[in-house]
């Protein structure tokens, strides 16, 4: 009777250890702490001298020993097993545990285990960690104390524990992924102020003016080449203003033809036109209380300009097809890469609208004039992209840095971002070298221009030659020529008319 009682108490004790260990690992969210908790708890479930956790690397598909507990925990060197290699690799490949009390005679044994522990490997329980049909790694329970042997009872308890461990690791991976995603979202929400960190005197002056502009509701006009970051400045002004808790609504005036732009801005009533199957609020209405950002306002057609002028003057409008007047409390920020004074002189842009949007004017310097910022921005883009992909960020080599600083960046910040993303996607791992950037670093030949005409005529001749060349190269196809020049087709058509090419 005493023997049976002792055996029952022994079994209860072991089951309690299993329950306690399972609760401990399932309550830990931090992955680093979880992994250490797993190997520490394994020794509570099954008596052993050492325990080792190996996780499957998602890219190399190798088992990597990451945590060792026991006398050898400070001696472990990096150990990797290919799938199918050694006892651990066999377990990962077949998804079945291995109990061996004479390891060195096991045909699956690999002497690579000697790098994990210094003492001779005599006995092992190796268990697969699988969740959702995929192997996450293996758990090694190594050497029974005092030359003992692992039993079937040890195996059953260890398997039950391994099942809980796999779930905990899978949950920790999901938690890590969600944390990275949340961090990314937080960074995106805070991107404008952070990306406006600058070491360039020209950009610092713009940032200071933007901060001062944010203190009022005055309309702001942002000028500069394409890709200089005008929308980031606009978002910064909104973020720094009293309207920061209200919507920031952006619309690209060059992306839509006239009728669709009008509907997108002001909304429409049901039946206002073919396809208007229900009433729809426009961007002006959605931005009520916040900021409306009009990108490429220079592309806005004259009829839409007239209607938007009323919004600026009275903060009132009607939906397309509607008769009711709607009032919107909005702050307007506009941006363009065109010379609006020239557009006004040529009759393409309303003078009264120009004066309404040009209350505070900020010119964003091109990237080539912000040499102090180029490498800082480049590293920020690398960090952000690699964070999205959940991978380590490669470093720019000195040769790559020199190439980046020596390039003219006609596409500005947007081009820099695209170049670095392409370099990473196409294989840059630990470093990004000059060859990964795929930049055309040959100096462009200087054009010889005869200054025999007034400035405006020279500019018009230059534009005419560029458009005509694009049309020739595209066989006269205006859609293809517009894409080649990064223009909208309506704008290209208007340019062709103004330049006498139709």
What domain range includes position 492?
455-498
Same domain flag for 322 and 228: yes
The answer to whether the Cα torsion of 106, 108, 110, 116 is positive or negative is negative
Same domain flag for 493 and 400: no
Look at residue 373 and tell me if it is in a domain. no
Look at residue 344 and tell me if it is in a domain. yes
Same domain flag for 468 and 432: no
Total structural domains in the chain?
4
Same domain flag for 60 and 152: yes
End of a domain among 333, 363, 393?
Answer: 363
**Sheet with strand 291-295: strands edge to edge:** 248-252, 291-295, 331-336, 220-223, 360-363
Bridge partners, 81 (sequence order): 63
Three-state secondary structure call for residue 38: helix
Same domain flag for 404 and 492: no
Same domain flag for 226 and 284: yes
Closest residue by Cα to residue 266 from 216, 300, 239 = 300
Under a CB-based contact definition with an 8 Å cutoff, are residues 256 and 297 in contact?
A: no
- In angstroms, the CA 464 to CA 4 distance is 101
Same domain flag for 173 and 197: no
Q: What is the mean pLDDT of each run of 10 residues along the chain (502 residues)?
A: 52 58 64 78 80 80 77 61 88 90 86 72 88 85 85 86 83 73 52 65 93 94 91 92 91 84 89 79 91 93 92 90 89 93 90 94 93 91 84 90 89 88 81 85 49 67 76 68 76 74 62
What are the CA-CA distances from residue 472 to residues 377, 466, 476, 485, 496 (Å)?
A: 37, 10, 6, 13, 13
End of a domain among 363, 392, 407?
Answer: 363
Q: What is the pLDDT of residue 191?
A: 47
Look at residue 370 and tell me if it is in a domain. no
CATH label of the domain that carries residue 393? 1.10.8.60
Same domain flag for 62 and 137: yes
Look at residue 183 and tell me if it is in a domain. no
Instruction: Say what the pTM is.
Output: 0.54
Look at residue 376 and tell me if it is in a domain. no
Query: 430: exposed, middle or buried (C-beta count within 10 Å: 0-12, 13-18, 19+)?
Result: exposed
Look at residue 255 and tell me if it is in a domain. yes
Same domain flag for 327 and 354: yes
Under a CB-based contact definition with an 8 Å cutoff, are residues 228 and 367 in contact?
A: yes
Q: What is the pLDDT of residue 15?
A: 57
Under a CB-based contact definition with an 8 Å cutoff, are residues 125 and 74 in contact?
A: no
Same domain flag for 21 and 85: yes
Under a CB-based contact definition with an 8 Å cutoff, are residues 279 and 267 in contact?
A: yes
CATH label of the domain that carries residue 343? 3.40.50.300
Same domain flag for 168 and 196: no
Same domain flag for 99 and 150: yes
Q: What is the pLDDT of residue 450?
A: 57
Structural tokens at position 371: 């040499």
CATH label of the domain that carries residue 73? 3.30.450.40
Look at residue 6 and tell me if it is in a domain. no
CATH label of the domain that carries residue 473? 1.10.10
How many CA atoms does the CB half-sphere of 32 hold within 13 Å? 0
Q: What is the pLDDT of residue 40?
A: 79
Look at residue 1 and tell me if it is in a domain. no
CA 24 vs. chain centroid, Å, equals: 34
């Amino acid at each position: 009777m005493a023997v049976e009682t002792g055996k029952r108490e022994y079994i209860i004790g072991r089951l309690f250890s299993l329950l306690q260990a399972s609760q401990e690992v399932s309550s830990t969210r931090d992955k680093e702490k979880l992994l250490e908790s797993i190997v520490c708890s394994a020794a509570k479930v099954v008596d052993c001298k050492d325990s080792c956790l190996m996780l499957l690397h998602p890219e190399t598909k190798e088992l990597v020993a990451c945590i060792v507990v026991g006398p050898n925990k400070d001696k472990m060197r990096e150990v990797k097993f290919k799938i199918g290699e050694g006892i651990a690799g066999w377990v990962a490949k077949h998804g079945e545990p291995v109990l061996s009390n004479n390891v060195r005679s096991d045909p699956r044994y690999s002497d690579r285990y000697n790098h994990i522990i210094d003492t001779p490997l005599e006995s092992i329980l190796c268990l697969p960690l699988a969740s959702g049909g995929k192997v996450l790694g293996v758990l090694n329970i190594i050497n029974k104390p005092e030359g003992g042997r692992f039993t079937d009872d040890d195996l059953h308890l260890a398997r039950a524990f391994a099942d809980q461990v796999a779930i905990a690791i899978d949950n920790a991976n999901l938690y890590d992924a969600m944390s990275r995603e949340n961090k990314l979202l937080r960074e995106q929400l805070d991107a404008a102020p952070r990306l406006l960190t600058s070491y360039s005197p020209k950009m610092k002056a713009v940032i200071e003016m933007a901060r001062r502009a944010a203190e009022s509701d005055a309309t702001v006009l942002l000028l500069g080449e394409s890709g200089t970051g005008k929308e980031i400045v606009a978002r910064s002004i909104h973020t720094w203003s009293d309207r920061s808790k209200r919507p920031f609504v952006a619309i690209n005036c060059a992306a839509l033809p006239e009728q669709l732009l009008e509907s997108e801005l002001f909304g429409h009533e049901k039946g206002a036109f073919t396809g208007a199957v229900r009433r729809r609020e426009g961007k002006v209405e959605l931005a009520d209380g916040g900021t409306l950002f009009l990108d490429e306002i220079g592309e806005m057609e004259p009829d839409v300009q007239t209607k938007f002028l009323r919004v600026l003057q009275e903060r009132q409008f009607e939906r397309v097809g509607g008769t009711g007047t709607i009032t919107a409390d909005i702050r307007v920020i506009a941006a363009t890469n065109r010379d609006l004074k020239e557009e006004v002189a040529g009759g393409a842009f309303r003078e009264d609208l120009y004066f309404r949007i040009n209350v505070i004017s900020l010119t964003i310097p091109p990237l080539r004039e912000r040499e102090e910022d180029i490498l800082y921005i480049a590293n920020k883009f690398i960090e952000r992209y690699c964070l999205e992909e959940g991978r380590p960020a490669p470093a720019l080599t000195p040769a790559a840095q020199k190439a980046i600083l020596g390039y003219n960046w006609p596409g500005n910040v947007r081009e820099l971002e695209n170049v670095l993303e392409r370099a990473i996607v196409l294989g840059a791992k630990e470093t990004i070298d000059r060859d990964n950037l795929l930049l055309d670093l040959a100096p462009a030949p200087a054009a010889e221009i005869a200054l025999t005409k007034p400035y405006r005529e020279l500019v018009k001749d230059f534009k005419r030659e560029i458009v005509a060349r694009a049309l020739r190269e595209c066989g006269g196809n205006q859609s293809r020529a517009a894409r080649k020049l990064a223009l909208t087709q309506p704008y290209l058509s208007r340019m062709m008319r103004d330049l006498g090419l139709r």
